[in-house]
Structure 1
Amino acid sequence: MHEDIQEVLFSEEEIAARVAEIGAQITNDYADAVAQDGRGVILISVLRGAAIFMADLARQIELPLEMDYMAVSSYGNGAKSSGVVRILKDLSSEIEGRHVIVAEDILDSGLTLKYLMKNLASRKPASIEVATLLRKKTLQQAKIDCRYIGFECPDQFIVGYGLDFAERYRNLPYIGILKPEVY
Protein backbone atom coordinates (compact mmCIF):
# COMPACT_ATOMS: atom_id res chain seq x y z
CA MET A 1 0.00 0.00 0.00
CA HIS A 2 2.75 2.45 0.92
CA GLU A 3 4.27 2.24 -2.55
CA ASP A 4 0.98 3.60 -3.97
CA ILE A 5 1.44 6.87 -2.07
CA GLN A 6 2.98 9.75 -4.01
CA GLU A 7 3.52 11.98 -0.96
CA VAL A 8 2.67 11.94 2.76
CA LEU A 9 0.76 15.14 3.58
CA PHE A 10 0.14 14.66 7.30
CA SER A 11 2.03 12.24 9.51
CA GLU A 12 0.51 10.11 12.25
CA GLU A 13 2.01 12.49 14.84
CA GLU A 14 0.69 15.62 13.13
CA ILE A 15 -2.80 14.12 12.95
CA ALA A 16 -2.77 13.09 16.62
CA ALA A 17 -1.67 16.58 17.71
CA ARG A 18 -4.32 18.34 15.62
CA VAL A 19 -7.11 16.00 16.76
CA ALA A 20 -6.11 16.70 20.38
CA GLU A 21 -6.34 20.45 19.69
CA ILE A 22 -9.80 20.10 18.15
CA GLY A 23 -10.94 17.97 21.10
CA ALA A 24 -9.74 20.61 23.55
CA GLN A 25 -11.50 23.34 21.55
CA ILE A 26 -14.79 21.37 21.55
CA THR A 27 -14.44 20.74 25.29
CA ASN A 28 -14.01 24.46 25.87
CA ASP A 29 -16.79 25.50 23.47
CA TYR A 30 -19.43 23.14 24.90
CA ALA A 31 -18.55 23.08 28.62
CA ASP A 32 -21.24 25.63 29.59
CA ALA A 33 -23.96 24.05 27.43
CA VAL A 34 -23.24 20.60 28.87
CA ALA A 35 -23.22 22.00 32.41
CA GLN A 36 -26.66 23.52 31.80
CA ASP A 37 -28.42 20.55 30.21
CA GLY A 38 -26.28 17.73 31.61
CA ARG A 39 -26.75 15.62 28.49
CA GLY A 40 -23.51 16.23 26.65
CA VAL A 41 -22.97 16.39 22.93
CA ILE A 42 -23.70 13.85 20.23
CA LEU A 43 -20.88 13.12 17.81
CA ILE A 44 -22.11 11.78 14.50
CA SER A 45 -19.68 9.99 12.25
CA VAL A 46 -20.24 9.74 8.56
CA LEU A 47 -19.25 6.14 7.87
CA ARG A 48 -16.91 4.78 6.89
CA GLY A 49 -14.23 7.35 6.33
CA ALA A 50 -14.78 9.44 9.46
CA ALA A 51 -14.99 6.53 11.93
CA ILE A 52 -11.27 6.61 12.78
CA PHE A 53 -11.28 10.40 13.13
CA MET A 54 -14.38 10.34 15.35
CA ALA A 55 -12.97 7.62 17.61
CA ASP A 56 -9.77 9.58 18.14
CA LEU A 57 -11.67 12.85 18.54
CA ALA A 58 -14.08 11.38 21.10
CA ARG A 59 -11.14 10.37 23.31
CA GLN A 60 -9.93 13.98 23.27
CA ILE A 61 -13.23 15.56 24.34
CA GLU A 62 -13.49 15.85 28.11
CA LEU A 63 -17.28 16.07 28.30
CA PRO A 64 -20.11 13.56 28.44
CA LEU A 65 -20.90 12.53 24.88
CA GLU A 66 -22.77 10.03 22.79
CA MET A 67 -21.65 8.64 19.48
CA ASP A 68 -23.87 7.70 16.57
CA TYR A 69 -23.29 6.83 12.94
CA MET A 70 -24.74 7.49 9.52
CA ALA A 71 -23.72 5.93 6.27
CA VAL A 72 -24.10 8.30 3.35
CA SER A 73 -22.85 7.65 -0.15
CA SER A 74 -22.15 9.83 -3.14
CA TYR A 75 -18.98 8.23 -4.51
CA GLY A 76 -19.47 4.54 -5.24
CA ASN A 77 -16.08 3.21 -6.38
CA GLY A 78 -15.18 6.30 -8.40
CA ALA A 79 -12.68 9.02 -7.71
CA LYS A 80 -15.17 11.91 -8.03
CA SER A 81 -18.47 12.53 -6.26
CA SER A 82 -21.45 11.31 -8.27
CA GLY A 83 -23.59 14.16 -6.90
CA VAL A 84 -26.33 11.69 -5.94
CA VAL A 85 -26.58 11.35 -2.15
CA ARG A 86 -28.12 8.31 -0.49
CA ILE A 87 -28.58 7.57 3.23
CA LEU A 88 -27.51 3.97 3.66
CA LYS A 89 -27.77 3.93 7.48
CA ASP A 90 -29.64 6.46 9.59
CA LEU A 91 -29.09 7.56 13.19
CA SER A 92 -30.20 5.43 16.13
CA SER A 93 -30.42 8.45 18.47
CA GLU A 94 -32.96 11.25 18.61
CA ILE A 95 -31.16 14.58 18.16
CA GLU A 96 -33.99 17.03 18.79
CA GLY A 97 -32.83 19.63 21.32
CA ARG A 98 -29.32 18.17 21.45
CA HIS A 99 -25.92 19.67 20.56
CA VAL A 100 -24.71 17.79 17.49
CA ILE A 101 -21.21 17.71 16.04
CA VAL A 102 -20.83 15.97 12.69
CA ALA A 103 -17.39 14.37 12.40
CA GLU A 104 -16.48 14.31 8.71
CA ASP A 105 -13.33 12.90 7.15
CA ILE A 106 -12.99 15.31 4.24
CA LEU A 107 -14.87 18.25 2.80
CA ASP A 108 -14.34 17.83 -0.92
CA SER A 109 -17.20 18.91 -3.20
CA GLY A 110 -19.37 19.51 -0.13
CA LEU A 111 -22.43 17.97 -1.82
CA THR A 112 -22.76 15.10 0.63
CA LEU A 113 -22.22 17.24 3.70
CA LYS A 114 -24.61 19.96 2.49
CA TYR A 115 -27.33 17.36 2.04
CA LEU A 116 -26.56 15.79 5.42
CA MET A 117 -26.60 19.12 7.28
CA LYS A 118 -30.00 20.00 5.80
CA ASN A 119 -31.33 16.57 6.75
CA LEU A 120 -30.04 16.81 10.33
CA ALA A 121 -31.22 20.41 10.78
CA SER A 122 -34.77 19.28 9.95
CA ARG A 123 -34.62 17.11 13.08
CA LYS A 124 -34.39 20.28 15.24
CA PRO A 125 -31.13 19.90 17.19
CA ALA A 126 -30.22 22.66 19.69
CA SER A 127 -27.11 23.26 17.59
CA ILE A 128 -25.25 21.55 14.80
CA GLU A 129 -21.60 22.04 13.89
CA VAL A 130 -19.08 20.29 11.66
CA ALA A 131 -15.67 18.98 12.62
CA THR A 132 -13.87 17.98 9.44
CA LEU A 133 -10.42 16.47 9.48
CA LEU A 134 -9.59 17.80 6.01
CA ARG A 135 -10.91 20.57 3.79
CA LYS A 136 -9.80 20.60 0.17
CA LYS A 137 -9.10 23.86 -1.57
CA THR A 138 -11.49 23.72 -4.52
CA LEU A 139 -13.31 26.48 -6.39
CA GLN A 140 -16.52 24.54 -6.94
CA GLN A 141 -16.96 23.48 -3.29
CA ALA A 142 -20.44 23.92 -1.80
CA LYS A 143 -20.61 26.60 0.88
CA ILE A 144 -20.35 24.74 4.20
CA ASP A 145 -19.62 26.38 7.54
CA CYS A 146 -17.11 24.17 9.36
CA ARG A 147 -16.45 25.27 12.92
CA TYR A 148 -13.58 22.82 13.38
CA ILE A 149 -11.08 22.10 10.60
CA GLY A 150 -8.11 19.81 11.04
CA PHE A 151 -6.09 20.64 7.96
CA GLU A 152 -6.45 22.39 4.62
CA CYS A 153 -5.24 20.12 1.85
CA PRO A 154 -4.61 20.35 -1.89
CA ASP A 155 -7.16 19.22 -4.46
CA GLN A 156 -5.56 15.81 -4.90
CA PHE A 157 -6.84 12.27 -4.32
CA ILE A 158 -6.18 11.74 -0.60
CA VAL A 159 -6.12 8.40 1.27
CA GLY A 160 -5.22 7.08 4.71
CA TYR A 161 -6.51 7.54 8.27
CA GLY A 162 -9.98 6.37 7.22
CA LEU A 163 -10.00 7.82 3.71
CA ASP A 164 -10.13 5.27 0.93
CA PHE A 165 -10.06 4.53 -2.72
CA ALA A 166 -12.43 1.61 -3.52
CA GLU A 167 -12.33 0.61 0.19
CA ARG A 168 -8.51 0.37 0.29
CA TYR A 169 -5.89 2.43 2.19
CA ARG A 170 -8.18 3.32 5.16
CA ASN A 171 -5.75 1.64 7.55
CA LEU A 172 -2.74 3.81 6.69
CA PRO A 173 -1.76 5.74 9.84
CA TYR A 174 -0.99 8.90 7.84
CA ILE A 175 -2.73 10.88 5.10
CA GLY A 176 -1.14 10.88 1.68
CA ILE A 177 -1.72 11.62 -1.97
CA LEU A 178 -2.54 8.53 -4.00
CA LYS A 179 -0.50 8.15 -7.18
CA PRO A 180 -2.68 8.97 -10.23
CA GLU A 181 -1.81 5.69 -11.97
CA VAL A 182 -3.47 3.79 -9.10
CA TYR A 183 -6.90 5.28 -9.79
Structure 2
Amino acid sequence: MLLNFRAHLVLPFSLPKELFFFFFVCMFSPKEHKRCRSIPGNSLTSHRTIFTLREMEHAGKKRGIVIKDDWTGYSLDLFTYPEHYRHDIDNVYIPHGVVVNRTERLARYIVEDFADDNIVVLCVLKGGYEFCVDLVECIKVLGRNSNKYLETRVEFIRLKSYLNDQSTEDLHIIGSRDLSFLRGKSVLIVEAIVDTGKTMKALLKHVVTFQPKMVKVAGLLVKRTPNVDENLTDYVGFEIPNRFVVGYALDYNEYFRDLNHICVISKIGKQKYKKLTHEGESGADEDVGGRWREIIQVGIVQGPL
Protein backbone atom coordinates (compact mmCIF):
# COMPACT_ATOMS: atom_id res chain seq x y z
CA MET A 1 0.00 0.00 0.00
CA LEU A 2 2.79 2.41 0.86
CA LEU A 3 4.60 1.85 -2.39
CA ASN A 4 1.48 2.08 -4.56
CA PHE A 5 0.43 5.34 -2.88
CA ARG A 6 3.82 6.90 -3.41
CA ALA A 7 4.03 5.76 -7.02
CA HIS A 8 0.86 7.66 -7.90
CA LEU A 9 1.94 10.97 -6.39
CA VAL A 10 2.86 13.56 -9.02
CA LEU A 11 5.03 16.25 -7.47
CA PRO A 12 7.41 18.84 -8.92
CA PHE A 13 9.73 18.09 -6.03
CA SER A 14 10.80 15.15 -3.92
CA LEU A 15 11.28 14.85 -0.19
CA PRO A 16 13.98 12.90 1.58
CA LYS A 17 12.43 9.48 2.05
CA GLU A 18 12.31 9.78 5.81
CA LEU A 19 10.29 13.00 5.51
CA PHE A 20 7.95 11.47 2.94
CA PHE A 21 7.23 8.57 5.29
CA PHE A 22 6.60 11.00 8.15
CA PHE A 23 3.96 12.92 6.18
CA PHE A 24 2.42 9.70 4.93
CA VAL A 25 1.94 8.10 8.32
CA CYS A 26 0.29 11.27 9.59
CA MET A 27 -2.68 10.26 7.40
CA PHE A 28 -3.21 7.14 9.47
CA SER A 29 -4.86 6.81 12.85
CA PRO A 30 -2.53 6.44 15.87
CA LYS A 31 -3.17 2.70 15.75
CA GLU A 32 -2.13 2.48 12.10
CA HIS A 33 0.84 4.75 12.81
CA LYS A 34 2.13 2.32 15.44
CA ARG A 35 1.53 -0.67 13.17
CA CYS A 36 3.43 0.87 10.27
CA ARG A 37 6.56 1.81 12.20
CA SER A 38 8.34 -1.27 10.86
CA ILE A 39 7.24 -3.10 7.70
CA PRO A 40 9.35 -6.16 6.79
CA GLY A 41 10.48 -6.08 3.19
CA ASN A 42 9.37 -2.50 2.58
CA SER A 43 11.94 -0.49 0.62
CA LEU A 44 11.28 2.60 2.73
CA THR A 45 12.38 0.90 5.92
CA SER A 46 14.90 -1.63 4.60
CA HIS A 47 14.22 -4.12 7.43
CA ARG A 48 14.90 -1.57 10.16
CA THR A 49 13.04 0.85 12.36
CA ILE A 50 12.33 4.14 10.60
CA PHE A 51 13.95 7.43 11.58
CA THR A 52 12.79 9.11 14.76
CA LEU A 53 10.81 12.32 14.40
CA ARG A 54 13.84 14.31 15.53
CA GLU A 55 16.00 12.82 12.79
CA MET A 56 13.24 13.52 10.25
CA GLU A 57 13.07 17.16 11.26
CA HIS A 58 16.85 17.41 11.06
CA ALA A 59 16.73 16.15 7.47
CA GLY A 60 14.01 18.70 6.69
CA LYS A 61 16.13 21.55 7.99
CA LYS A 62 19.42 20.52 6.39
CA ARG A 63 18.17 19.57 2.92
CA GLY A 64 14.71 21.08 2.60
CA ILE A 65 12.35 20.35 -0.28
CA VAL A 66 14.27 18.70 -3.10
CA ILE A 67 13.39 19.93 -6.61
CA LYS A 68 13.92 17.16 -9.16
CA ASP A 69 16.47 17.54 -11.97
CA ASP A 70 13.82 17.03 -14.65
CA TRP A 71 11.36 19.56 -13.21
CA THR A 72 10.49 22.00 -16.03
CA GLY A 73 8.47 24.43 -13.95
CA TYR A 74 4.96 25.81 -14.43
CA SER A 75 3.63 27.54 -17.52
CA LEU A 76 3.77 31.32 -17.34
CA ASP A 77 0.11 31.42 -18.38
CA LEU A 78 -0.87 30.06 -14.94
CA PHE A 79 0.52 33.05 -13.02
CA THR A 80 0.71 36.83 -13.01
CA TYR A 81 4.06 38.55 -13.40
CA PRO A 82 5.45 41.82 -14.82
CA GLU A 83 4.47 41.86 -18.49
CA HIS A 84 7.83 43.29 -19.59
CA TYR A 85 9.46 39.97 -18.67
CA ARG A 86 7.19 37.87 -20.89
CA HIS A 87 9.97 36.66 -23.18
CA ASP A 88 12.74 36.90 -20.61
CA ILE A 89 11.76 33.95 -18.39
CA ASP A 90 11.05 30.35 -19.38
CA ASN A 91 8.79 29.27 -16.53
CA VAL A 92 7.71 29.74 -12.93
CA TYR A 93 10.04 27.38 -11.09
CA ILE A 94 8.77 27.87 -7.52
CA PRO A 95 5.54 29.88 -6.99
CA HIS A 96 5.61 32.71 -4.47
CA GLY A 97 3.04 31.06 -2.20
CA VAL A 98 5.16 27.92 -1.87
CA VAL A 99 8.20 30.04 -1.00
CA VAL A 100 6.29 31.92 1.72
CA ASN A 101 4.89 28.75 3.26
CA ARG A 102 8.31 27.09 3.36
CA THR A 103 9.73 30.24 4.96
CA GLU A 104 7.15 29.96 7.73
CA ARG A 105 8.36 26.43 8.45
CA LEU A 106 11.99 27.53 8.58
CA ALA A 107 11.00 30.23 11.07
CA ARG A 108 9.61 27.52 13.37
CA TYR A 109 12.88 25.60 13.21
CA ILE A 110 14.81 28.76 14.08
CA VAL A 111 12.59 29.71 17.03
CA GLU A 112 12.94 26.20 18.44
CA ASP A 113 16.72 26.10 18.00
CA PHE A 114 17.58 29.54 19.32
CA ALA A 115 15.31 29.11 22.35
CA ASP A 116 15.63 32.17 24.60
CA ASP A 117 18.69 33.63 22.87
CA ASN A 118 18.49 37.07 21.30
CA ILE A 119 19.71 36.86 17.73
CA VAL A 120 21.51 39.10 15.27
CA VAL A 121 20.29 38.48 11.74
CA LEU A 122 22.84 39.20 9.02
CA CYS A 123 20.89 39.66 5.81
CA VAL A 124 22.94 39.16 2.66
CA LEU A 125 21.99 41.85 0.14
CA LYS A 126 20.72 42.38 -2.34
CA GLY A 127 19.22 39.03 -3.17
CA GLY A 128 18.39 38.07 0.39
CA TYR A 129 16.21 41.00 1.41
CA GLU A 130 12.81 39.49 0.44
CA PHE A 131 13.60 36.20 2.14
CA CYS A 132 14.94 37.98 5.21
CA VAL A 133 11.91 40.28 5.56
CA ASP A 134 9.49 37.34 5.35
CA LEU A 135 11.60 35.15 7.65
CA VAL A 136 11.99 37.79 10.36
CA GLU A 137 8.30 38.64 10.20
CA CYS A 138 7.41 34.95 10.67
CA ILE A 139 9.75 34.78 13.67
CA LYS A 140 8.06 37.82 15.18
CA VAL A 141 4.56 36.39 14.61
CA LEU A 142 5.54 33.10 16.22
CA GLY A 143 6.91 35.00 19.19
CA ARG A 144 3.76 37.04 19.66
CA ASN A 145 1.71 33.86 19.74
CA SER A 146 3.91 31.87 22.11
CA ASN A 147 6.27 32.21 25.04
CA LYS A 148 9.35 31.97 22.80
CA TYR A 149 9.76 35.57 21.70
CA LEU A 150 13.19 36.25 20.22
CA GLU A 151 14.55 39.77 20.33
CA THR A 152 15.83 40.15 16.79
CA ARG A 153 18.37 42.71 15.60
CA VAL A 154 18.80 43.00 11.84
CA GLU A 155 22.04 43.99 10.09
CA PHE A 156 22.78 44.02 6.38
CA ILE A 157 25.78 42.73 4.45
CA ARG A 158 25.96 43.63 0.78
CA LEU A 159 27.43 41.07 -1.61
CA LYS A 160 27.98 41.20 -5.32
CA SER A 161 28.86 37.66 -6.26
CA TYR A 162 27.78 37.32 -9.90
CA LEU A 163 28.87 38.75 -13.21
CA ASN A 164 26.08 37.77 -15.58
CA ASP A 165 25.31 34.16 -14.52
CA GLN A 166 28.72 33.17 -13.16
CA SER A 167 29.37 32.94 -9.42
CA THR A 168 32.57 34.51 -8.17
CA GLU A 169 35.41 32.73 -6.41
CA ASP A 170 37.56 35.29 -4.58
CA LEU A 171 36.46 37.30 -1.56
CA HIS A 172 37.27 41.00 -1.45
CA ILE A 173 35.82 43.10 1.35
CA ILE A 174 35.28 46.78 0.67
CA GLY A 175 34.33 49.23 3.39
CA SER A 176 34.29 48.45 7.09
CA ARG A 177 35.66 45.06 8.08
CA ASP A 178 34.67 45.56 11.71
CA LEU A 179 31.93 43.19 12.84
CA SER A 180 32.83 43.47 16.51
CA PHE A 181 29.15 43.94 17.39
CA LEU A 182 28.80 40.18 16.79
CA ARG A 183 31.02 39.29 19.74
CA GLY A 184 29.19 36.98 22.13
CA LYS A 185 26.00 37.10 20.03
CA SER A 186 23.91 34.35 18.45
CA VAL A 187 24.09 35.05 14.72
CA LEU A 188 21.79 33.93 11.92
CA ILE A 189 23.12 34.59 8.39
CA VAL A 190 20.24 34.83 5.91
CA GLU A 191 21.17 34.15 2.29
CA ALA A 192 18.83 33.74 -0.68
CA ILE A 193 20.96 31.25 -2.58
CA VAL A 194 24.06 29.12 -1.92
CA ASP A 195 25.73 28.16 -5.16
CA THR A 196 29.28 26.78 -5.05
CA GLY A 197 29.55 27.47 -1.31
CA LYS A 198 32.86 29.34 -1.69
CA THR A 199 31.25 32.69 -0.89
CA MET A 200 29.58 31.38 2.25
CA LYS A 201 32.76 29.67 3.45
CA ALA A 202 34.68 32.91 3.14
CA LEU A 203 31.95 34.90 4.86
CA LEU A 204 31.73 32.41 7.75
CA LYS A 205 35.50 32.49 8.16
CA HIS A 206 35.36 36.26 8.45
CA VAL A 207 32.40 36.27 10.86
CA VAL A 208 33.89 33.77 13.32
CA THR A 209 36.99 35.92 13.81
CA PHE A 210 34.76 38.26 15.85
CA GLN A 211 33.95 35.44 18.31
CA PRO A 212 30.15 35.21 18.14
CA LYS A 213 28.45 32.86 20.57
CA MET A 214 26.90 30.83 17.75
CA VAL A 215 26.54 31.12 13.97
CA LYS A 216 23.87 29.45 11.85
CA VAL A 217 23.00 29.89 8.18
CA ALA A 218 19.55 29.97 6.59
CA GLY A 219 19.56 29.51 2.81
CA LEU A 220 16.34 29.73 0.83
CA LEU A 221 17.88 27.93 -2.15
CA VAL A 222 20.85 25.55 -2.22
CA LYS A 223 22.08 24.35 -5.59
CA ARG A 224 23.18 20.80 -6.24
CA THR A 225 26.67 21.54 -7.51
CA PRO A 226 29.78 19.33 -7.53
CA ASN A 227 31.73 19.31 -4.26
CA VAL A 228 29.28 21.60 -2.47
CA ASP A 229 29.62 21.42 1.33
CA GLU A 230 26.24 20.42 2.74
CA ASN A 231 27.34 21.47 6.24
CA LEU A 232 27.41 25.16 5.31
CA THR A 233 23.67 25.66 5.77
CA ASP A 234 21.62 24.84 8.86
CA TYR A 235 18.18 25.70 7.43
CA VAL A 236 17.34 25.07 3.78
CA GLY A 237 14.20 26.05 1.95
CA PHE A 238 14.71 24.22 -1.34
CA GLU A 239 17.47 22.14 -2.89
CA ILE A 240 17.47 22.88 -6.61
CA PRO A 241 19.35 21.72 -9.71
CA ASN A 242 22.19 23.85 -11.00
CA ARG A 243 20.01 26.35 -12.86
CA PHE A 244 20.17 30.13 -12.91
CA VAL A 245 17.00 31.40 -11.26
CA VAL A 246 15.68 34.91 -10.74
CA GLY A 247 12.86 36.59 -8.85
CA TYR A 248 11.97 37.04 -5.17
CA ALA A 249 14.81 39.61 -5.08
CA LEU A 250 17.25 37.35 -6.97
CA ASP A 251 18.60 39.20 -9.98
CA TYR A 252 20.43 38.94 -13.26
CA ASN A 253 22.56 42.10 -13.48
CA GLU A 254 20.04 43.96 -11.28
CA TYR A 255 16.97 42.91 -13.31
CA PHE A 256 14.12 40.59 -12.23
CA ARG A 257 14.14 41.59 -8.54
CA ASP A 258 10.52 42.71 -8.97
CA LEU A 259 9.33 39.17 -9.77
CA ASN A 260 7.40 37.57 -6.91
CA HIS A 261 7.91 34.01 -8.13
CA ILE A 262 11.23 32.22 -8.51
CA CYS A 263 11.68 31.72 -12.26
CA VAL A 264 14.20 30.36 -14.74
CA ILE A 265 15.67 33.03 -16.99
CA SER A 266 15.44 32.44 -20.75
CA LYS A 267 18.24 32.68 -23.30
CA ILE A 268 16.58 35.82 -24.62
CA GLY A 269 16.61 37.31 -21.12
CA LYS A 270 20.28 36.51 -20.61
CA GLN A 271 21.27 38.11 -23.87
CA LYS A 272 18.99 41.13 -23.37
CA TYR A 273 20.35 42.00 -19.93
CA LYS A 274 23.93 40.79 -20.30
CA LYS A 275 26.34 43.17 -18.64
CA LEU A 276 29.31 44.60 -20.53
CA THR A 277 32.76 44.75 -18.98
CA HIS A 278 34.69 47.99 -18.64
CA GLU A 279 36.33 47.21 -21.99
CA GLY A 280 32.96 47.07 -23.69
CA GLU A 281 33.00 43.32 -24.21
CA SER A 282 30.51 40.82 -22.86
CA GLY A 283 31.28 39.47 -19.41
CA ALA A 284 31.48 35.83 -18.28
CA ASP A 285 28.72 33.49 -19.40
CA GLU A 286 28.12 29.76 -18.91
CA ASP A 287 30.79 28.76 -21.42
CA VAL A 288 33.05 31.79 -21.24
CA GLY A 289 35.73 32.49 -18.67
CA GLY A 290 36.01 35.89 -17.07
CA ARG A 291 37.40 37.88 -14.21
CA TRP A 292 35.46 36.83 -11.12
CA ARG A 293 35.06 39.21 -8.24
CA GLU A 294 33.15 39.60 -5.04
CA ILE A 295 32.37 42.75 -3.09
CA ILE A 296 31.10 42.80 0.46
CA GLN A 297 29.89 45.98 2.04
CA VAL A 298 28.81 45.82 5.65
CA GLY A 299 26.47 48.36 7.17
CA ILE A 300 24.39 48.57 10.35
CA VAL A 301 20.86 49.42 9.31
CA GLN A 302 18.46 48.69 12.08
CA GLY A 303 18.38 48.00 15.80
CA PRO A 304 16.15 45.66 17.82
CA LEU A 305 12.77 44.98 16.22
TM-score normalised by the chain length of structure 1: 0.89
Number of residue pairs matched?
176
- CA offsets per residue over residues 61-119 of structure 1, 9 Å max, x none? 132100001112332x3211231222345577700110000000101011111110100
- CA offsets per residue over residues 129-165 of structure 1, 9 Å max, x none? 1000000111143554211001011111110001100
Partner of 1:114: 201
Do the aligned residues in 2 keep the contact of 1:101 with 1:131 (CA within 8 Å)? yes
Partner of 2:129: 51
- Alignment partner of 2:244 out of 157, 168, 176: 157
Larger radius of gyration: 2
Alignment of 1:57-76 (within 5 A): 57-61=135-139, 62=143, 63-75=150-162
- Distance, in Å, in 2 between the alignment partners of 1:85 and 1:22 is 28
Once the two structures are TM-superposed, the CA of residue 14 in structure 1 deviates from its matched residue by 0.2
Once the two structures are TM-superposed, the CA of residue 171 in structure 1 deviates from its matched residue by 1.4
Once the two structures are TM-superposed, the CA of residue 51 in structure 1 deviates from its matched residue by 0.9
Between 152-161 and 88-97, report the one with greater CA deviation.
88-97
- CA offsets per residue over residues 23-80 of structure 1, 9 Å max, x none? 1111111124x2xxxxx101101110001111110001132100001112332x3211
User: Where do 5+ consecutive residues of structure 1 fail to align?
Assistant: 35-39
Letter of the 1:141 counterpart: V
Identity %: 30
SS for the counterpart of 2:135 is helix
- Distance, in Å, in 1 between the alignment partners of 2:151 and 2:113 is 13
- Distance, in Å, in 1 between the alignment partners of 2:133 and 2:180 is 18
SS for the counterpart of 2:256 is coil
Summarize the Cα distance change of 1:85–1:180 in structure 2 as closer, same or farther, 3 Å threshold: farther
Partner of 1:37: none
- Distance, in Å, in 1 between the alignment partners of 2:209 and 2:91 is 40
Q: CA RMSD in A?
A: 1.7
- Distance, in Å, in 2 between the alignment partners of 1:172 and 1:89 is 30
Letter of the 1:50 counterpart: G
SS for the counterpart of 1:60 is helix
Summarize the Cα distance change of 1:31–1:143 in structure 2 as closer, same or farther, 3 Å threshold: closer
Partner of 1:27: 111
